[in-house]
A and B are shown apart, each in its own frame.
Chain A
Amino acid sequence: MDVIYPYSIINKKIKLSLVFFCVALFFNCVKKKSSEDIHVNYNNGKVVSVEYETEESSGYTFHLKQNDQSPILGNLTCEKGTCTFIPIVAFTAGQTYEIRKNKKTIESFTIDHSSKQKNPELIAIYPSMDTVPQNLLKMYFVFSHPMQHSKSALDFISVFDNTAQKESDIFLEMETELWNKERTRLTLWLDPGRIKTDLIPNQEKGPPLLQKHCYTISIDSLWTSEQGYPLTRKYVKMLNVVGKDLQRPNPKLWEVNIPKENTQNPLEIRFNEPMDAVLILETIQVKNREGELIEGTFSLLENELKIEFKPEEKWILGNYSVHVNPVLEDLAGNNLERLFDTDLSDNSMDTKSTENILNFSIEH
């Protein structure tokens, strides 16, 4: 209850037909104050309680406007002529509520939208590149604000196959949506059962993406933030589908650009294919000859094809190594240890173990 906005958001909406009733009520038992006497208390932009003055201390219930369902759940306490109602969840912006006594509406008020909040933006979609392998496994959608919890993400995402000129449902519908803790990054899987060769979903519906097809992913502007504010605009992402990626990430094929001694220039690593934008930043470490972690910052560049590591302190002469956690995946979900779609009976498949340590030396 840190901020109080008295009066300003109250919208008096008493119907004329109720006036006589209210006057009668006034003279009978309830000395009702006008709606201007209702105080709406905010906490972090949410309406957490409502206060009003009355000489009656019981029998009041709160309802949605013109709603015959049971009263709103909450806690009503009255003391010294002031009643405070604390709903179990904050009142909804834009919604009108009624205070009733003996099933009769005696007051109503509307919750304003807070002017402090901003519309969310979709700030990144990974993979950044439009050209993707046919066996692309997942996509990330990164937002500027925490997004709403009540509706399914796929209610706001549609995919159109421009080549076949029809709608396409490439994403796996999940009851448990995969968000980060802050609810600003959503992970969507392309249906894994359709990607894997010869699984029943694959046989029945074919792969989610078809080679040489072009898709438009549309993100609806009606998608709202936690605070109920819609995206600033509709967003569109194109996918141009090429052949399957049937190779595991292989650090031995990465190009390493080694900085000079006594500088803080970044260590540059260029991959031979785009990497998973989230995993790459969490699966790579730089260590010195003693195996101690070098503190610094990684930056992902050039459509996830390059990463830079800027150390907190200057490089000193000696041997170093880049360690890659084998769970790192490429766009097709292949990690350092296995292909996502593996036919163990096919000896020609890529099944050799992959080195996950790259050694380098800082020189003069």
Chain B
Amino acid sequence: MKKFILPTLLLVLSLYGLSSWTTNETSEDLTANFIYGDPEIGSINALSFGPEGILFVGDSENAMVYALDTKDSSEKGNGDEINIRKFDQMIAASLGTTEDKIRISDMAVNPKSKTPYFAVSMEDGTTVLLRLKDEALENVSLKGISYSKISLNDAIDADAKDKRGRPQRMWAIADLKFHGDRILVSGLSNKEFASTFRSIPFPFTDSQDQTSLEIWHAAHGQYETHAPIKTFDVVSLNNQDYLMASYTCTPLVLFPMAELENGKHIKGRTVAELGAGNSPLDMISYKKEGKKYFLMSNTNRPVMRLDYEDIADFKETLTKPVTEFAVATGVPYDNLPFPYVQQMDNLDDSNVLYIQRTGSGELILRSRSTKWM
């Protein structure tokens, strides 16, 4: 037990420091090293908002993470009620094409202005960033914008140093989240069966002081592997932050954030099973009647709801080696009546925004009170 006192103390101190940093840091401080111009984004694979309307963009094609100053930082208490049918047709029409030639690759709501942003990929690979204001779509220019960026290939990587010009190792960015003062990025290899998880300080620094590590997880009675993370979120349980990661072959695994150190392999603990043929797409947390819940949208299952208290009940086993096959059911979850939800984010404190393919094949963008979730 003693060995956990120091990390916990450090975490508490860092959280205290973080909270003071967050409140004191101004928009000017955060964007001090930004430049105006064309960040040359190749593809948008993941979006996540940070403070002051700063939007983080994960670009698999260029193995880059960008911080964009959207200048959309006016405070708004609640998001607009949204109910748009044939949303894919609306986007396609505004881009002068048909819905079969576009793909909504991610959606994120600016927590300050409550404005939803959409990354759209065209058939030819052109990437567009749109936002919805007053039920109309606006283009956020990616050719002239205030930004900073950091390369994921700058981390130590044998392939990146290849003198013979052979291709660099490619990490498809699976998910990206801003947490505290850092950008967390999970990546999948398009070659070997492996993953990376990186924690990058923001504002980005010249020295590119980033940590890089591979995560190992042990689950299902002694089967161990490098298992690529598909999506993740950070959850706070009993005043400690955990990485909640969903894997390609094992569903939900918790890792104590305090143990995510540079180059260290850490073992996580499976907390929930989702069943075969299903993959989580988006994860969000929300409060309802004083209780915290965790929502997860899936490829082939309805939206699932987990109770934070149920997850916290697993804390006793989190730091112990996994030695028994005792996770067949894991944390209980509820299936909410929302199948085929493709994108999901918090609209405000009491509403969730999601994109759903309905039974009739229609793609809708809709806000919904967490009271009903």
Contacts and interface: CB of A to CB of B under 8 A. Distances in A.
A114 to B, nearest CB: 12
Contact of B194 (A172, A176, A227, A327): A327
B96 A181 contact: no
Contacts of A192: 193, 227, 248-249
Interface stretch (B18-26, B168-176, B304-312): B168-176
Contact of A92 (B60, B101, B121): B101
A102 to B, nearest CB: 19
A177 interface: yes
A149 B98 contact: no
Contact of A69 (B94, B166, B230, B328): B94
A335 B192 contact: yes
B37 interface: no
A282 B159 contact: yes
A204 B220 CA distance: 14
B93 interface: yes
Nearest to A189: B248
A198 B221 contact: yes
B158 A325 contact: yes
A181 B93 contact: no
A184 to B, nearest CB: 12
A70 B137 contact: yes
Interface string B52-74: 00000000110000000000000
Contacts of A248: none
A201 B277 contact: yes
A194 interface: yes
A335 B225 CA distance: 11
A282 B93 contact: no
A341 B223 contact: yes
A154 to B, nearest CB: 11
A295 B190 contact: no
B281 A138 contact: no
Contacts of B90: 69-70
Contacts of A279: 191-192
A177 B172 contact: yes
B299 interface: yes
A89 to B, nearest CB: 5
B85 to A, nearest CB: 12
Contacts of B138: 73
A150 B123 CA distance: 5
B95 A173 contact: no
Interface string A218-261: 00000010111000000000000000000000000000000000
What is the interface residue range for chain B against chain A? 35 or more
B190 A178 contact: yes
B137 A196 contact: no
Contacts of B251: 200
A172 to B, nearest CB: 6
A278 B251 CA distance: 28
Interface stretch (A18-26, A209-217, A314-322, A342-350): A342-350
Interface string B308-336: 00000000000000000100100000000
B136 interface: yes
A95 interface: yes
A176 B123 contact: no
Nearest to B89: A69
Chief secondary structure at chain B's binding surface: loop
Interface string A62-73: 111001011111
Interface in B240-277: 248-251, 273-277
A295 B164 contact: yes
A226 B125 contact: yes
B190 A180 contact: yes
A87 interface: yes
B222 A344 contact: yes
A164 interface: no
Given A89-B122, A192-B193, A181 B170 contact: yes
Contact of B172 (A46, A176, A196): A176
A174 B299 CA distance: 9
Given A69-B93, A178-B188, A169 B193 contact: no
Interface in B106-144: 121-126, 128, 130, 136-139
The CB with the most chain A CB atoms within 10 A, among B90, B126, B137, B194, is that of B126
Contacts of A63: 93
A135 to B, nearest CB: 12
A14 interface: no
A201 B328 CA distance: 11
Contacts of B124: 46, 90, 148-149, 226-228
B276 A181 contact: no
A39 B139 CA distance: 24
Contacts of B123: 148-151, 224, 226, 228
Given A92-B97, A181-B170, A205 B193 contact: no
A176 B95 contact: no
B260 to A, nearest CB: 21
Interface string B81-106: 00000000110011111101111000
A147 B121 CA distance: 13
B62 to A, nearest CB: 8
Nearest to A327: B192
B371 interface: no
Contact of A89 (B95, B172, B230): B95
A97 interface: yes
B183 to A, nearest CB: 17
Given A137-B193, A201-B249, A343-B222, A95 B100 contact: no
Interface in A23-63: 46, 62-63
A137 B174 CA distance: 19
Interface in A153-170: 169
Nearest to A172: B248
B167 A181 contact: yes
Contacts of B231: 175
Contacts of A335: 192
A97 B96 contact: yes
A183 interface: yes
B163 interface: yes
Q: Which 4 A-B pairs have the closest CB atoms?
A: A193-B249, A69-B93, A201-B276, A178-B190
18 contacts: A67-B93, A69-B89, A72-B96, A73-B94, A73-B95, A89-B95, A137-B193, A149-B125, A174-B279, A193-B249, A193-B276, A199-B220, A228-B101, A228-B124, A295-B164, A329-B192, A341-B223, A344-B224
Given A175-B231, A193-B249, A329-B193, 4 more contacts: A149-B123, A181-B167, A189-B248, A192-B249
